[in-house]
A and B are shown apart, each in its own frame.
Chain A
Amino acid sequence: MVEPERVLHSVMVIAFERKGIIDENLKIINAVQKELSLGNDEKNDALNHIKKFRGVGDWSGKRDAVVSVAIDRIEEAVEIKLINNPSIQNALKKLIDVTLNQQIPRNNSLSAFEDSEDDTNKNNLQLELNDDTEIESDMKENNPQENTIINKNSLSISETDDFEDFDEDIDPFDLIGGRNPINQQNNSSTYRDPLDELMDEVDDEVIEIETIELNSDNDNKLVNNKKNVEPKNERLEMYRMMLDTVWVDDLIDPSEVALLARKRKELDISFETHMKLVREMLEDSD
């Protein structure tokens, strides 16, 4: 089970990335902190970790991986009812959706240079992380008895007219492909899990080799080929980043250990390498 401290850390990561700066007083953070019954020590631990590793926002070039892991944890916290307040659940879902929307590459490679603020407002749900007065109406409807908490602590969300077009039922993991990469081909979204993106660079080449030379349907062989071609340093850095986040509150739990074990297999990282990285991480933290 994901630890409450790590859920708060993940919410802070996503909220900061959404806002573009570190602001520990965001309402969503305070709301989640209260919902998880966490004190300021836990919040400060998470904050210090983020400050240490976020840099200017690129997370040493692994921003997408960090965001992906954070989303994973928040989703799990909601699924297992660690976060049980419907208003907060709703706010987090929207925050995740908007974060994912932001990450979807545009069809037009020049569009990033062409977007005006107005265009952005038309296309996206607006999350006003700092607005003390605006309260999301559907958050109240979802849980009227929690209005006091919402008013004091919740993330404020306003919608544009186009918000109704936004699919409320969409699973963020369908967008990032974290749970079922096979379905990604049929997904209109072009966003890919950063781990998969690393492999994409060699994907076509591997399939071609598979068809012409091997003529085999052996998926394992294909996966192994990808791992061999993938830059080792990239994989190690990706894994190191994940490893570093699991001890953010000084405790590891089974869900994190399981996640790391899965990633070791996916990234073809040996246990010996893992142990070396653990030692390095502990030495760094000393």
Chain B
Amino acid sequence: MKTVFRTALEIAWADGSMSKKGALIIEKLHDAMKLENSLREKIEEEFYNEILNSRAENGERGEGKGDTELESWVNSLIDNLEDDELEKQVLYLSRRCVEIGLSKEKWLFGIKFTKEFNQSNTFAQGVWMEKNIQVEYNDFLKILEPLANVLNSN
């Protein structure tokens, strides 16, 4: 269950190295998400410990070719972040996941996932019925697809 910024790091470091262009795209995403520095530090620390550390020990090096895929992925996400539908879809997803039964694990993931782009309060308001939305959605913005997949899974 990966969050947006964690996924971005994995794409950027896909072949074992991150290019300068990749690093700039990561910064662009960071700004667009309005990601808190403390949270980013935590995500990067986890990524280092779980992925990069072992790669460094194994002497793995790449050419930073992940930047091409990262660029197109991040551009579509930035559009999503500016979309008025984002908040509505987060509200819908949060309401829907309660209807099908929300576990503690999914609750924690939902909060963690949406916190990266400042929608965790919206998610919580939807879950706890502080806010409601009448619209139904079958398809979701790309940025929300991983969240939808997790919340709808058994």
A binds B: yes
Which residues of chain A have a CB within 8 Å of any CB of chain B? 3, 247, 250-254, 257-258, 260-261, 271, 274-275, 282, 285
Contact yes or no, B104 A282, CB < 8 A: yes
Is B50 located at the chain interface by the 8 A CB criterion?
no
Contact yes or no, B104 A257, CB < 8 A: no
Is B99 located at the chain interface by the 8 A CB criterion?
yes
Is B103 located at the chain interface by the 8 A CB criterion?
yes
Residues of B close to A253: CB separation below 8 A:
98-99, 101-102
Contact yes or no, B98 A261, CB < 8 A: no
Contact yes or no, A271 B128, CB < 8 A: yes
Residues of B close to A282: CB separation below 8 A:
104, 107-108
- What total of A-B pairs shows CB separation below 8 Å? 39
List 5 A-B residue pairs with CB atoms under 8 Å apart, sorted by A's residue number. A251-B101, A251-B103, A252-B102, A271-B125, A271-B130
Instruction: For the complex of A and B, list the 4 residue pairs with the smallest distance between their C-beta atoms, beginning with the closest.
Output: A251-B101, A261-B129, A250-B103, A252-B102
Instruction: Give which listed residue, A3, A247, A250, A261, contacts B128 with CB less than 8 A.
Output: A261
Smallest beta-carbon distance B130→chain A, Å = 5
Instruction: Give which listed residue, A251, A261, A271, A275, contacts B102 with CB less than 8 A.
Output: A251
* Consensus secondary structure, chain B interface: helix
Residues of B close to A260: CB separation below 8 A:
128
Contact yes or no, A285 B128, CB < 8 A: no
What is the chain B residue whose CB lies nearest that of A250?
B103
Contact yes or no, A274 B128, CB < 8 A: yes
Contact yes or no, A261 B99, CB < 8 A: no
Contact yes or no, A258 B129, CB < 8 A: yes
Is B29 located at the chain interface by the 8 A CB criterion?
no
Contact yes or no, B98 A257, CB < 8 A: yes
Tell me the complex Cα distance, A68–B67, Å: 59
Contact yes or no, A252 B130, CB < 8 A: no
Smallest beta-carbon distance B136→chain A, Å = 16
Contact digits for B47-70, partner A, Cβ 8 Å, 1 yes 0 no:
000000000000000000000000
Instruction: Give which listed residue, A247, A250, A257, contacts B127 with CB less than 8 A.
Output: A257
Residues of B close to A3: CB separation below 8 A:
101
Residues of B close to A251: CB separation below 8 A:
101-103
Contact yes or no, A257 B108, CB < 8 A: no
Contact digits for B120-133, partner A, Cβ 8 Å, 1 yes 0 no:
00001101111000
Tell me the complex Cα distance, A251–B107, Å: 10
Tell me the complex Cα distance, A209–B18, Å: 70
Tell me the complex Cα distance, A275–B107, Å: 12
Supplied contacts A250-B105, A252-B98, A285-B104, 10 more A-B pairs, CB within 8 Å: A3-B101, A250-B103, A251-B101, A251-B103, A252-B107, A253-B99, A253-B102, A257-B127, A257-B129, A261-B130
From residue 95 to 152 of chain B, which have CB atoms closer than 8 A to chain A?
Answer: 98-99, 101-105, 107-108, 124-125, 127-130
Smallest beta-carbon distance A146→chain B, Å = 30
Smallest beta-carbon distance B31→chain A, Å = 27
Known: A257-B98, A261-B130, A271-B130. A250 touches B125 (CB 8 A): no
Tell me the complex Cα distance, A253–B127, Å: 10
Residues of A close to B130: CB separation below 8 A:
261, 271
What is the chain B residue whose CB lies nearest that of A261?
B129
Instruction: Give which listed residue, B99, B105, B107, contacts A254 with CB less than 8 A.
Output: B99
Smallest beta-carbon distance B92→chain A, Å = 14
Residues of A close to B104: CB separation below 8 A:
247, 250, 282, 285
Residues of B close to A252: CB separation below 8 A:
98, 101-102, 107, 127
Residues of B close to A271: CB separation below 8 A:
124-125, 128, 130
From residue 6 to 28 of chain B, which have CB atoms closer than 8 A to chain A?
Answer: none
Smallest beta-carbon distance A281→chain B, Å = 9
Tell me the complex Cα distance, A221–B39, Å: 43
Residues of A close to B99: CB separation below 8 A:
253-254
Residues of A close to B127: CB separation below 8 A:
252, 257
